[in-house]
Amino acid sequence: MRDRPRPSLSPAEEERIRRYLDAAEKVARSIGRKSEHLVSSVDAEDLVSVAKEALVVAARRYDPEQGASFWTFARPRVAGAVMDVLRKQNRGVRQHRRALRRLEQEQRALDALTATASEALRQDAKARVDAAARLVQATVAGIVARRTAAYEEEQLPADETNPEAATIRKAMLAHLRDALERLSPEERALYEALYVEGATASEVGQRLGVHASTISRRHARLLERLGRALSGEGDARPHRASRA
């Protein structure tokens, strides 16, 4: 579930944040540049936003009585928050690439069938292509869901150099948000646990008293539904509670 609103920052906390905002941004951009060869789909401004948010959290938690300077305390927390985003995004990108390769393989297998192939064989090959295409949609939904959970639309950096990409991104976010509004309470709780809180399937399973594999199956169904929403195929009706 979402956290309750936090109390206002104290003057001392505000001063620490103001003083080290530029330093936090430099950390984010430095890590982003070093990770470009690993993750190409994370915007630098997204990482800066994560770094600034981590700086605020550090300012709230800092205790000068412990003896360390504020930046000594805050810097590893800022860097860690940025690295967490990159690790999660990299995992999603790898899953997406594997899904694309599978779709390409299944499509080649279908195209390779000769005219003499039986109708049953063709239908089976087509079903595998359709399943692979749904998997691609689901991995895209996972990537976009992470971005949507982390940032509100007005906070997403505008891509002035590529207005077409910005338009596509806004359309995808609109489809996804529309689908999120129609989730059942159980689906919404699962989405928030995995994408807002960053919990693992094992952690969610422990909360609900079910095996991690059950959570993984529910997650797969959730991503399939969100994937359909991104392609404009989403069902407008709210879904009932997910079953194992």
pLDDT on residue 140: 65
For residue 123, the enclosing domain spans 113-230
> Is residue 134 located within the same domain as residue 78?
no
Whether 99 maps to a domain, the answer reads: no
Query: 33 and 134 share a domain?
Result: no
240 in a structural domain: no
- pLDDT bin (cut points 50, 70, 90) of residue 19 is very high
Do 76 and 121 lie in a common domain? no
Whether 90 has a pLDDT exceeding 60, the answer reads yes
Which phi and psi (to 5°) does residue 218 adopt?
A: -65, -40
Q: Are residues 31 and 129 in the same domain?
A: no
Residues 54 and 159 in one domain: no
Indicate whether 242 belongs to any domain. Answer: no
Question: Both 189 and 139 in a single domain?
Answer: yes
pLDDT, mean over the chain: 75
Q: Are residues 175 and 142 in the same domain?
A: yes
Same-domain status, 129 and 218: yes
Q: Which of 58, 90, 122 is the last residue of a domain?
A: 90
> What is the spatial distance between Cα 76 and Cα 58, in angstroms, rounded to a whole number?
10
| 102 belongs to a structural domain | no
CB 142 within 8 A of CB 172: no
- DSSP letter for 40, please: S
The per-residue pLDDT for 151 is 47
Given a cut of 70, whether residue 78 has pLDDT beyond it is: yes
Helix axes 119-150, 212-230, angle to 10 degrees: 90
Q: Do 61 and 117 belong to one domain?
A: no
- Tell me if 105 is assigned to some domain: no
Task: Please write the tens of the pLDDT for every residue from 111-154.
Answer: 787 677 788 888 888 888 877 776 666 666 666 666 555 544 44
From residue 35, alpha-carbon distances to 3, 44, 45, 134, 161 in Å are 30, 11, 14, 29, 22
CA nearest neighbour of 180 among 170, 171, 192, 168: 192
Identify whether the C-beta of residue 62 lies closer than 8 Å to the C-beta of residue 85: no
182-195 pLDDT, tens digit each: 888 888 888 888 77
Domain count, the chain: 2
Instruction: Report the alpha-carbon distance of residue 148 to residue 188 in Å, rounded.
Output: 13
Residues 148 and 176 sit within 8 Å (Cβ to Cβ): yes
Note whether residue 27 is domain-resident.
Answer: yes
* pTM as predicted: 0.42
Alpha helix stretches (DSSP H) within the chain:
11-34, 44-61, 70-111, 119-150, 163-181, 185-191, 201-208, 212-230
Is the same domain home to 17 and 60? yes
CATH number of 169's domain: 1.20.140
Q: Give the domain-ending residue among 90, 105, 121.
A: 90
Phi, psi angle pair for 164, to nearest 5°: -65, -45
Distance (Å, rounded) from C-alpha 216 to C-alpha 146?
16
Q: How far is CA 132 from CA 12, 48, 106, 113, 135, in A?
A: 54, 35, 7, 18, 5
**Structural domain includes residue 2:** no
pLDDT at residue number 223: 77
Domain presence at residue 215 = yes
Is the pLDDT assigned to residue 205 strictly greater than 80? yes
121, 200: one domain: yes
Mean pLDDT computed over 28-43: 66
